[in-house]
Chains A and B, each alone.
Chain A
Amino acid sequence: MTDPGIEMTVGGAPDGPAARDLFSKFDPLIGQREQLLSTGLTDPFNLVMERVESPTVAICNGRRTILLGTYNYMGMTFDPDVIAAGKHALDEYGSGTTGSRVLNGTYQGHRECEDALREFYGMDHAMVFSTGYQANLGIISTMAGKDDFIILDTDSHASIYDGCALGNAQIVAFRHNDVEALEKRLKRLPPDAGKLVVLEGVYSMLGDTAPLKEMVAVCKAAGAMVLVDEAHSMGFIGEHGRGVAEAQGVIDDVDFIIGTFSKSVGTVGGFCVSNHPKFEILRLVCRPYVFTASLPPSVVATAATSIRKLMHGGSKRAHLLENSRQLHGGLKDLGFKLGTDEPQSAIIAVTMPDLERGAAMWEALLHEGLYVNLARPPATPQGMTLLRCSLCAEHTGEQVREILGMFGAAGRKTGVIG
């Protein structure tokens, strides 16, 4: 051994056996990262936005950059009413609650935020969590007990898998968006067992929507409760912006809708809405709700104001979906391979041949002045590397044309398109 000092720094006693470094399990990832960055590439997972000018423009590495990789779908982050509400709450209620929702952490603003959600979804109950991740973690782990079954799509978000891992229910997975696979599995379950089917309105990696109409029908026929995560549809899909379940006419058969404030609403936080008559008991038994501090007053004030404005966002909705169509069509014409044949949401995923070329393309776009998300396994399905574009209602038609020009230039430079 040439350098025994290294062993000692990770906790081994000087004369005892060498300590096993618990970090050694990350060596393959560290190696992959070093190899990628050794080519001089900008680290795609370490970007700093030095200034943010608007929902669609920020300064990154001193350069004006169009933002096409945020979840600011409705551009609410700089809405003057939203900002005024947040400032007012900071002045009136202070910077934080320093407590749990069930103790000293429920202020007037938290109640008003839940009122806004109930009105927005037309449902009886609303429960606000500190993040969307915690909403899934809490609801899923608490509702399904040891002898119950959770049936989920294999492409489910990490927060759904983690909710399953936190609880102790039996977990059954079915192939992504496959109605028949779901039905088969439901039929193989004990008829009298408790069943919770967890679906998403929009799957965020490829931007594809779920066939909720068929799936919810199959679930109801099997006597299962249905939870739909509508994080990526709130505010612009469905007549009232309630999401894919509303757009497909099955929202009344959905038992729980999970959502977030960190996308269309434009701040941070998570929620669950439901018509279940016993829903309120969850406030006492749901650990990710109880054992964490509640959202700061300014955050719930901005969220409530934003949610109420989203109820009347008809023209913005139309513009957002038009942007999505323009970008999808334009990228297709340039010769890029896309995650969906038609635009189904505000997310357009561009599939890259591999991580190396994906990272090179990501950097070339950044040099052009465009930020998109680089997504790679295990976050992506089927080991894909994706450049994920998410549109904002505040992107102008001119910006979308500019974006397409940048994609063309970067794609030719990196050889991703001919």
Chain B
Amino acid sequence: MTDRDERLQTILRLITEFNKKGVEVTEETRFAQDLEWDSLTVMDFVAAVEDEFDVLITMNRAAEIETVEQLVDAVGELQGSK
């Protein structure tokens, strides 16, 4: 498994906890539209991702992330910049 695959698997695991509607999740899944998360759920989820990967995702950055794929790439980038 590549680093990216590992990141994806970890993020999918974290999503499960917040995926109350049981929506099927792929890399194309959008957090707001497909998972129907409100802003509070998004903030809780972002905090979980931050703690899992020991990175910081600012609200400015989070606002630009719409899909699972974008999150996986953003976390990779943030880990790289540490």
Chain A residues with Cβ below 8 Å from B51 are 181, 184
A188 interfacial contact with B, CB 8 Å: yes
Checking B46, B47, B56 against A188 with a beta-carbon cut-off of 8 angstroms, the contacting residue is B56
Q: Is B24 an interface residue (CB 8 A)?
A: no
Contacts of B65 in A (CB 8 A): none
* Interface membership of A279, Cβ < 8 A: no
Pair A172/B58 contact, Cβ less than 8 Å: yes
A189 touches B40 (CB 8 A): no
Roughly how many angstroms separate A282 CA and B36 CA in the complex, as a whole number? 42
**Nearest residue in B to A180 (C-beta to C-beta)?**
B51
Q: Using Cβ atoms and an 8 Å threshold, which residues of chain B touch A378?
A: 39-40
Write the B14-58 contact mask toward A (1 if CB under 8 angstroms, else 0): 000000000000000000000000111001101100110011101
Residue A344, interface by CB 8 Å: no
Question: Is the pair A383, B55 in contact by a Cβ cutoff of 8 Å?
Answer: no
B60 at the interface (CB under 8 A from A): yes
Instruction: Indicate if A93 sits at the interface (CB-CB under 8 A).
Output: no
Are A381 and B47 CB-contacts (below 8 A) given A170-B58, A171-B60, A185-B56?
A: no
Residue of A nearest to B39 (CB): A378
Are B50's CB and A185's CB within 8 A?
A: yes
A35 to B56, CA, bound (A): 42
Contacts of B43 in A (CB 8 A): 154, 173
| A175 CA to B60 CA, complexed, in Å | 17
The answer on a CB contact under 8 Å between A175 and B47 is yes
Contact for A173 among B38, B47, B54, B55, CB less than 8 A: B47
Q: How extensive is the interface on chain A, given as a class?
A: 10 to 19
B59 near A381 with CB under 8 A, answer: no
Chain A window 174-187, contacts with chain B (Cβ cutoff 8 Å), 1 for yes, 0 for no: 11000001001100
A188 and B54 form a contact (CB under 8 A): yes
* A382 contacts the other chain (CB 8 A): yes
Q: Which of these, B40, B54, B58, B60, contacts A154 with CB under 8 Å?
A: B40
Residue contact A189 to B56, C-beta cutoff 8 Å: yes
A170 to B56, CA, bound (A): 11
Question: Which residues of chain B come closer than 8 Å to A154, judged between CB atoms?
Answer: 40, 43-44
B residues contacting the other copy or chain, number (CB 8 A)? 15
Q: Which residue of B lies closest to A382 (CB)?
A: B40
Which residues from B are CB-within-8-Å of A383? 38, 40
A383 to chain B, nearest CB (A): 7
Across the interface, which residues of A come within 8 angstroms of B50, CB to CB? 184-185, 188
Tell me which residues across on chain B come within 8 A of A381, comparing CB atoms: 40
Q: Which residues of B contact A382 (CB under 8 A)?
A: 40
Given A184-B51, A185-B50, A188-B54, also A173-B40 (CB < 8 A): no
Nearest A-chain residue to B46, judged by Cβ: A173
Residues of chain B with a CB closer than 8 A to A181's CB: 47, 51
In the bound complex, residues from chain B placing their C-beta under 8 Å from that of A184 are 50-51
A185–B54 CA distance with the chains assembled, in angstroms: 9
Minimum C-beta distance from A163 to chain B (A): 13
A 268-317 contacts with B by CB, 8 A? none
Q: Would you call B56 and A174 a contact (CB within 8 A)? A: no
Residues of B near A172 (CB, < 8 A) are: 56, 58-59
Q: In the complex, are the beta carbons of A170 and B40 less than 8 A apart?
A: no
Chain B 42-82 interface residues, beta-carbon cutoff 8 Å to A: 43-44, 46-47, 50-51, 54-56, 58-60
Q: Residue on A with the closest CB to B61? A: A170
CB distance from B80 to the nearest CB of A (A): 14
Q: Is there an interface contact between A171 and B58, defined as CB atoms closer than 8 Å?
A: yes
Q: How far is the CA of A181 from the CA of B48 in the complex (A)?
A: 10
Set of chain A residues within 8 Å of B46, measured between Cβ atoms: 173
Please, which residues of chain A bring their CB within 8 A of the CB of B39?
A: 378
Q: In the complex, what distance in Å separates the CA atom of A175 from the CA atom of B45?
A: 11
Question: Considering the complex of A and B, which 3 residue pairs feature the smallest CB-CB distances, nearest first?
Answer: A171-B59, A188-B56, A170-B58
- Point out residues on B near A: beta carbons under 8 Å: 38-40, 43-44, 46-47, 50-51, 54-56, 58-60
Interface residues of A (CB under 8 A from B): 149, 154, 164, 170-175, 181, 184-185, 188-189, 377-378, 381-383
User: What are 17 of the A-B contact pairs (CB < 8 Å)?
Assistant: A154-B40, A154-B44, A171-B58, A171-B60, A172-B56, A172-B58, A173-B59, A175-B44, A175-B47, A181-B47, A181-B51, A185-B56, A188-B55, A188-B56, A378-B39, A381-B40, A383-B38
Beyond A149-B58, A154-B40, A189-B56, 5 additional contacts (C-beta under 8 Å) are: A170-B58, A171-B58, A173-B43, A188-B55, A383-B40
